Amino acid sequence: MHKIILIGSNGQVGHELCRTLATLGTIVPVGRSELDLADQSAIRSLVRDVEPDTIVNAAAYTAVDRAELEREMAYLVNANAPAVLAQEAELLGARLIHYSTDYVFDGTKETPYLENDEPNPLNVYGSSKLEGERGILKTDADAVILRTSWVYSAHGKNFVRTILRLAAERDELSVVADQRGAPTSAGLIARVTAELISHQEQSFHRLYHLTSCGATSWYDFARAILRISYGQATPCRVIAVKSEEYPTEATRPTNSVLDCTRIQSEYDLDLPTWDEELRLTLRSTVTEANA
């Protein structure tokens, strides 16, 4: 039976992976309380004890602004840990699937970023994730790296849940309108991950971009969340602001749209548009709440 270690099983992507990967084999879920990703020896011991066929690393240091103040921890989790996992996967002959970010780019390109475009992260989070990619690719592990963006789900801490919570508390929301990207659901990431794992005959060691199709701003994303959730009777107004009016510790790219042609072509995938996937996620949220 295929054995899969799922690291970060209690995160928003991990939650979806637990459900989606269940049909592919035996899942060994590993949450934050079971593994300290800053401890390299603990990572090695876990992998060697379990002896998995596949390692899925859905864990990361994702607090983009706090990473500016906790640089060392961000690098331990986002750079060092993935490299160690790749080394152990190579020793075992196991596969590794790892998730990275659109924030490896600086946002100056006017068209969607390709996998071979030169990274130039603007913040510690993006820099640490880029080093994680490089650490994996330095090994000969059978690994795939999926760069994704603006991840959300019905669970965990994310933009969709924050907007819905704030809309119930306030009459007005100010949302940045000059940053563009592709909102991507944890459910979509999990479904594509399952597809990759099921292609046993295909060698990995590749870097792919994986997001929903299309692009939007945070402002229009927020408006879509409320429109889909409430129809015309939205509970509050959404006001567009510039990034400079909403200062943060970390600088974000103005354009982080990723071109997903490579993974669509190589795996014959039909990726949904961001608003289609948003509707699906919000509908499943309502269904679960009423169950």
The residues carrying an active-site annotation are 125
Rounded CA-CA distance 56/195 in Å is 13
How is residue 198 written in tokens?
A: 């099921």
Rounded CA-CA distance 49/33 in Å is 17
Tell me if 144 sits within 8 A of 196, measured CB to CB: yes
Tell me if 35 sits within 8 A of 76, measured CB to CB: no
Q: Which three-class secondary structure state does DSSP give residue 151?
A: strand
Rounded CA-CA distance 40/116 in Å is 30
Nearest to 147 by CA among 171, 114, 110, 179: 114
DSSP letter, residue 244: G
Please give the C-alpha separations between residue 275 and each of 51, 77, 224, 265, 281, in angstroms, as whole numbers.
40, 32, 8, 22, 10
Amino acid type, 281:
T
CB-based burial of residue 120 (10 Å sphere; 0-12 exposed, 13-18 middle, 19+ buried)?
A: middle
Tell me if 212 sits within 8 A of 274, measured CB to CB: yes
